[in-house]
Structure 1
């Protein structure tokens, strides 16, 4: 069973299992300064929604280097991919914005026994849901 899927990539024990997941949602508010009072604000829409996952992979369990290379290839493509948890929760479409890895505890041939990783994702709108703003002009 997988923990979460980004497109066709499954985060699971056999590939990369994350230990932590952090989700952040922002909303945009326009501000107008006022003398002697707090700024006036107006809600103008959703802001960024990000997901960050981190974890460690051990050589005895999986070859994390291959999985990290797969994620790097996906990031290089720049495609928006659906993010879906193992219990079926659909988070939306995300692009990979960053991938960090740290290798530790090396074998004599340079193979790391542990790789710590972190991946940052940014939610993007589904093009099928975008409104045609040119039609109203």
Structure 2
């Protein structure tokens, strides 16, 4: 296994990946100071995106069914856990976009070679915001009185 996106497994076949790009950032509030460099206050984690690219050979090894599963995840907006092949949990992600390119079209309109690119954005796990709010309210004694 190369990557696991929810129940979707990317491996060497039938649904393969050959390139992964990750882009992560942090958010800072810039505060101007007189006679000094601007100060930056850490505001939290910024965007964290994964782009997984690969190539399918549907007439030799398949993979179109798995590509359709990825489209269903995208359409539903479902939060999915992502795990790398070495067992590292990458976090919870949603599929923002999928690009596919069919080349060497066969008689049914499907490409002999199908290149795909799946763009994922990191999100918090389901219910994370409500559990944080509940914890904060309990700190101030609002809940349970």
Q: Which residue of 1 aligns with 2:28?
A: 29
Q: Which residue of 1 aligns with 2:38?
A: 39
How far is the alpha carbon of 1:128 from its aligned partner?
5.0
Separation in 2, partners of 1:58, 1:118? 15
The alignment status of 1:87 with 2:86, answered yes or no, reads yes
Q: Which residue of 1 aligns with 2:96?
A: 97
RMSD of equivalent CA atoms: 2.0
Stretch deviating more after TM superposition (12-21 or 41-50): 12-21
How far is the alpha carbon of 1:60 from its aligned partner?
3.8
How far is the alpha carbon of 1:64 from its aligned partner?
3.1
TM-score normalised by length of structure 2: 0.83
How far is the alpha carbon of 1:36 from its aligned partner?
4.7
Stretch deviating more after TM superposition (115-124 or 105-114): 105-114
How far is the alpha carbon of 1:37 from its aligned partner?
3.6
Stretch deviating more after TM superposition (76-85 or 55-64): 55-64
1:132 is paired with a residue of what secondary structure? helix
Say if 1:53 and 1:120, in contact at 8 Å, map to a contact too: yes
Structure 1: gaps of 5 or more residues: none
Decide which structure has the larger Cα Rg and report it. 2
What does 1:57-72 align with in structure 2 at a 5 Å threshold?
Answer: 57-72=56-71
How far is the alpha carbon of 1:16 from its aligned partner?
1.7
Say if 2:58 and 2:64, in contact at 8 Å, map to a contact too: no
Structure 2: gaps of 5 or more residues: none
TM-score normalised by length of structure 1: 0.87
How far is the alpha carbon of 1:45 from its aligned partner?
0.8
Q: Please identify which structure carries the higher strand content.
A: 1
Say if 2:74 and 2:96, in contact at 8 Å, map to a contact too: yes
Q: Which residue of 2 aligns with 1:132?
A: 133
2:68 is paired with a residue of what secondary structure? helix
Q: How many residue pairs align between the two structures?
A: 136
